[in-house]
Amino acid sequence: MPELSDVQAGRIGEYLLAVYAMLTTDGALVPFQVDADDDHRDLVVAVKGKSTFASLQAKACFSLGASGFVQSNATYSESTIPTDRSWIYVVVFVQDLAPVVWWIIPAPDFNRLTSRAPAQHGRKVELHFRAYPDRADAFTPFRTETRDVGPRLLELINALPPATKPQPGARLVLTNR
């Protein structure tokens, strides 16, 4: 069987994330596919009935690196690296056709814990995620099981500062001047 391309692996990660976000919250989280993936935003998830949402970048890994860790990279121009807590990286390790372990990491923590290397002849920077699926490392606090994917996302979305959410009762009003 041929090996999956990075694009295929990424799409599988997006689908798994969308399914388990809904399934593990009994539908409280609603995922929206992003058609123009210009800024690495793969999915947006909203809390059903609310305007609260988070942007997600999904990564799927299907094998361990030589040292026994799950690895994934994200490449950006330095000025476009997401820094907002409402931007969440989700990495899933898939083994024997099933998600085994997940990491759900807000952007500020991801940026702090990943290593960096120049990419594309120095025009971009690559963030390197490296974590063990079964032992302690810097990413252990963000590791979760499949049944907790949606609840963990809900917890992160509900903890966002008020400035990142619409005010209760707020309405958008458009006027002509």
How confident is the model over 56-70, as pLDDT tens digits? 999 999 999 889 999
Cα–Cα separations (whole angstroms), residue 175 to 91, 108, 172 = 43, 37, 10
Q: Strands (DSSP E) along the chain, which ranges?
A: 29-33, 43-47, 53-61, 70-76, 87-95, 98-106, 115-119, 124-131, 143-144
The residues pairing with 147 across neighbouring beta strands, listed in sequence order, are none
Token pair, residue 75, equals 């490449």
Place of tokens 């990564």: 59
pTM of the predicted protein model: 0.87
The Cα 131–Cα 67 span in angstroms is 10
Place of tokens 């809904």: 22
Token pair, residue 53, equals 């949402």
Percentage above 70 pLDDT, the chain: 88
Domains of the chain and CATH, by start: 6-162 (3.40.1350.10)
- pLDDT tens, 82-131? 899 999 999 999 999 999 999 999 999 999 999 888 777 777 888 899 99
SS3 9: helix
